[in-house]
């Protein structure tokens, strides 16, 4: 059959295509797709808008609403937050019956109801093909989807093939699910085919001539579960590259990526993380899975015969392990992570603000980011939140692509490298630093913690470490342990506890990277705390490969909380020197903060999503941090997790029972009760007996 000739005038007919989605991750692919579409459709105007931009840039929202008002083909996806829904709902409702097609998918029901594709709509009771599809999807159980993401994707591919042979509205239903296929495999090729397909099927009015120009080509299929390759022509595959004998000698790290970013070619931030880890001798397996359920990727690429083949896993997705922001299956995620049994970190690529805004923000992550990207993954068991990328508004050529935050990525790689080394090292060789607290200072509170008998618990912990294979020189008793720490050579140095090591002032001045900031607050080194003027003291005692130290006081004796709430301050010389000594001189493999709570996590800096200017991050650096924390104080425990990269180990508070009174006070209470219950006509002699008693 000979194809009918189409004039240049017909092909140039204007058509406005509008994409409204959550973020800008496909913008680069959209720009490239538009250039290809213009070859066949010179009149096309393809615009995309990201809801995450609207709060910071109200003009962007106005532009989006104006584009919707004149849009011919409108695609809306990933709108599930209330403020995003309210921002465009009325504009979508007003345009719905006047555009050629409106496709709303993977969004809240308030948005999905605006779908109109030929005779297929979603604004009424489900019937016919739609009701059939709901039954095929499976009934939810206990608030969770009836089918896994993997099964839903397989069904998504089968349905268009089945519906192809059913006439009527089913053809529009088929078009809806084909649209989902194009979008979920959103490469430059598939975005080009998506727009061409919708124009070919739904262009109407003066644009109907474009049906003869636009082509319908099936979605290109990519692996639902696969690996990403930094190098080579084939960036996406379903197999892991062969292992070089020299590669991964220091360990193996599994990375979880967003498939949509990899397909869209928006991967500079992923590449930077992979390169930084590989530079430390680590083998990296960058894996992805569709449908926001990462378990298939974990099972296929991070495990073998039910055993983990990686030493740590980092999620770069910004979402929970199972379910993403729309629903979160915490139980399934915890079961998967327990089976994996290696450190699991969830780090953040900024979606709701630019990297420039984050750098300047005293808060760090916005509340919505802290909720979706930090709090929900924490329910799974994730630790170590850290910003590793965002969109750089100072780079106009790449303002819509993710830009790696190099310093943060280096910190992440260094921190993961230490965790992997800790995982692989023999227990007898590991050096552990246990930190006790001294708060409030100068009040006899050294070695105390909320709801914890510190020295008894510490003694039991040392015994447990020894039984587990760590090299520990056990003291004879709790009293011996306490005296060796709180007394020892304290009188010789005029110190508050045993002096285990000293740091010469010249050494501190030469090695302290933030000396100028500390001196602006506390004067020249060594300051006035825990020093004899020539040296600074590290208080504590060594027990084999376990060092038990005392965290220095914050510095303000009369107002110890001042440092926590006043911005722009710095810790004392000895506070910073203590953590540097643990990391570099003692060379601890991990630190255990013992009890609730210390001061590290309350040092000045951002609240969540810290930078290299935040003191908790500077002090803990890449040292693996574990924190024994009271189970009844989750709010401050979260501060320790988020601001000092701590993994919490909970301890129960003492049981509550009726205290009652000592014998003398019990008798006094009884007499008071007798007095209060005396008869009004009691004789004077009777009253005298009560008083004398």
For CA atoms 435, 439, 445, 450, the dihedral sign is negative
With contact defined as beta carbons under 8 Å apart, do 467 and 625 qualify?
no
Quote the pLDDT of residue 393: 82
With contact defined as beta carbons under 8 Å apart, do 53 and 83 qualify?
no
With contact defined as beta carbons under 8 Å apart, do 41 and 11 qualify?
yes
With contact defined as beta carbons under 8 Å apart, do 480 and 511 qualify?
no
676 half-sphere exposure, CB direction, 13 A CA radius: 6
Q: % helix / strand / coil in the chain, to the nearest 5?
A: 45, 20, 40
pTM given for the model: 0.85
CB neighbourhood size of 693 (10 A): 10
Rounded CA-CA distance 596/675 in Å is: 45
* Strand locations in 261-386 (E): 283-289, 303-304, 307-308, 312-315, 344-346, 348-349
Mean pLDDT by 10 residues, the chain (693 residues): 50 90 86 89 92 88 96 94 94 96 92 93 64 53 54 61 64 88 90 94 92 89 91 82 63 95 92 96 94 91 94 95 81 95 96 92 93 94 95 78 95 98 96 90 76 95 97 96 95 94 97 95 92 95 97 71 69 96 98 93 93 96 96 92 95 82 80 74 64 61
With contact defined as beta carbons under 8 Å apart, do 435 and 447 qualify?
no
Cα–Cα distances (Å) from 402 to 185, 386, 498, 594, 612, in that order, read 19, 15, 51, 39, 20
Quote the pLDDT of residue 543: 97
Rounded CA-CA distance 609/352 in Å is: 13
The β-bridge partners of 537 are 502
Quote the pLDDT of residue 530: 92
Cα–Cα distances (Å) from 275 to 297, 319, 410, 422, 469, in that order, read 21, 23, 10, 21, 35
Q: Evaluate the omega torsion of the peptide bond into residue 408 and state whether it is cis, within 30 degrees of 0.
A: no
Quote the pLDDT of residue 292: 81
Rounded CA-CA distance 459/478 in Å is: 6
* pLDDT tens digits along 666-679: 878 887 887 777 66
Which residues touch 200 (CB under 8 Å, ≥6 apart)? 210, 211, 214, 215, 216
The angle at the Cα of 168, spanning 165 to 174, to the nearest 5 degrees, equals 60
Give me the phi and psi of 579, to 5 degrees please: -70, -35
With contact defined as beta carbons under 8 Å apart, do 454 and 447 qualify?
yes
Quote the pLDDT of residue 135: 52
SS3 279: coil
Give me the phi and psi of 428, to 5 degrees please: -65, -15
Rounded CA-CA distance 603/613 in Å is: 11
DSSP string, 8-19: HHHHT--EEEEE
* pLDDT tens digits along 128-173: 445 555 554 555 555 555 555 555 556 556 666 656 656 667 788 8
For 38, the enclosing helix (H) or strand (E) is: helix 27-40
* pLDDT tens digits along 232-289: 777 888 888 765 545 557 899 999 999 989 998 899 999 999 999 999 999 999 999 9
Rounded CA-CA distance 640/447 in Å is: 19
Quote the pLDDT of residue 155: 59
Q: Any idea what DSSP says for residue 73?
A: E
Rounded CA-CA distance 93/453 in Å is: 63
Which residues touch 256 (CB under 8 Å, ≥6 apart)? 287, 288, 289, 294, 297, 298, 313, 314, 315, 316, 317, 321
């Amino acid at each position: 059959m000979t194809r009918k000739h189409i004039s240049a005038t017909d092909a140039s007919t204007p058509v406005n295509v509008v994409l409204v989605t959550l973020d800008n991750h496909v913008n680069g692919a959209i720009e490239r797709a538009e250039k290809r579409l213009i070859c066949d459709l010179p009149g096309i105007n393809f615009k995309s808008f990201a809801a995450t931009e609207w709060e910071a840039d109200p003009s962007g929202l106005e532009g989006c609403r104006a584009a919707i008002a004149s849009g011919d083909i409108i695609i809306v996806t990933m709108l599930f937050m209330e403020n995003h829904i309210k921002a465009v709902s009325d504009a979508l409702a007003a345009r719905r019956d006047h555009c050629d097609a409106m496709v709303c998918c993977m969004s809240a029901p308030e948005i999905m109801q605006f779908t109109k594709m030929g005779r297929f709509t979603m604004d009424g009771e489900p019937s016919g093909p739609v009701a059939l599809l709901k039954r095929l999807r499976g009934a939810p159980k206990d608030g969770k989807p009836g089918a896994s993401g993997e099964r839903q994707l397989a069904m998504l591919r089968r349905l268009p093939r089945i519906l192809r042979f059913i006439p009527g509205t089913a053809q529009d239903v088929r078009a809806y699910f084909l649209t989902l296929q194009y979008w979920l495999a959103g490469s430059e090729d598939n975005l080009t085919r998506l727009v061409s397909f919708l124009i070919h099927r739904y262009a109407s009015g003066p644009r109907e001539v474009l049906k003869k120009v636009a082509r319908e080509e099936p979605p290109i299929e990519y692996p639902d579960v696969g690996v990403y390759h930094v190098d080579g022509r084939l960036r996406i595959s379903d197999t892991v590259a062969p292992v070089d004998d020299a590669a991964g000698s220091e360990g193996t790290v599994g990375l979880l990526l967003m498939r949509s970013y990899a397909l869209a070619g928006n991967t500079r931030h992923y590449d930077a993380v992979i390169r930084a880890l590989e530079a430390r001798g680590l083998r990296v397996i960058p894996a992805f899975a569709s449908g926001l359920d990462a378990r298939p990727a974990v099972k296929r690429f991070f495990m073998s015969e039910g055993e983990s083949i990686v030493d740590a896993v980092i999620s770069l997705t910004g979402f929970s392990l199972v379910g993403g922001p729309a629903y979160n299956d915490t139980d399934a995620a915890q079961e998967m992570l327990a089976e994996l049994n290696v450190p699991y970190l969830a780090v953040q690529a900024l979606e709701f603000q630019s990297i420039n805004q984050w750098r300047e923000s005293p808060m760090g992550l916005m509340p919505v980011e802290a909720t979706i990207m930090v709090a929900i993954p924490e329910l799974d068991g994730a630790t170590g939140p850290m910003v590793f990328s965002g969109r750089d508004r100072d780079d106009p050529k790449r303002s819509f692509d993710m830009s790696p935050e190099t310093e943060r990525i280096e910190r992440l790689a260094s921190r993961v490298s230490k965790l992997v080394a800790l995982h692989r090292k023999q227990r007898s060789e590991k050096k552990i630093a246990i930190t006790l607290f001294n708060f409030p200072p100068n009040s006899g509170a050294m070695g105390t913690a909320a709801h914890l008998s510190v020295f008894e618990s510490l003694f039991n912990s040392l015994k447990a470490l020894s039984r587990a294979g760590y090299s520990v020189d056990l003291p004879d008793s709790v009293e011996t342990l306490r005296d060796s720490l709180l007394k020892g050579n304290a009188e010789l140095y005029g110190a508050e506890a045993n002096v285990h090591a000293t740091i010469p002032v010249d050494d501190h001045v030469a090695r302290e990277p933030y000396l100028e900031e500390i001196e602006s607050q506390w004067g020249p080194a060594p300051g006035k705390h825990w020093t004899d003027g020539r040296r600074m003291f590290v208080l504590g005692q060594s027990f084999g490969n376990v060092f038990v130290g005392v965290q220095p006081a914050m510095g303000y004796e009369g107002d110890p909380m001042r440092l926590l709430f006043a911005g722009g301050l710095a810790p004392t010389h000895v506070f910073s020197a203590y953590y540097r000594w643990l990391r570099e001189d003692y060379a601890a493999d991990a630190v255990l903060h013992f009890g609730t709570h210390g001061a590290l996590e309350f040092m000045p800096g951002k609240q969540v999503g810290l930078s290299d200017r935040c003191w908790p991050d500077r002090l803990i650096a890449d040292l693996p941090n574990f924190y024994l924390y009271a189970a009844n104080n989750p709010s401050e425990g979260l501060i320790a997790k988020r601001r000092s990269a701590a993994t919490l180990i909970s301890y129960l508070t003492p049981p509550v029972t009726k205290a009652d009174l000592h014998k003398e006070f019990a008798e006094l209470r009884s007499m008071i009760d007798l007095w209060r219950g005396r008869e009004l006509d009691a004789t004077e002699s009777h009253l005298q007996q009560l008083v004398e008693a």
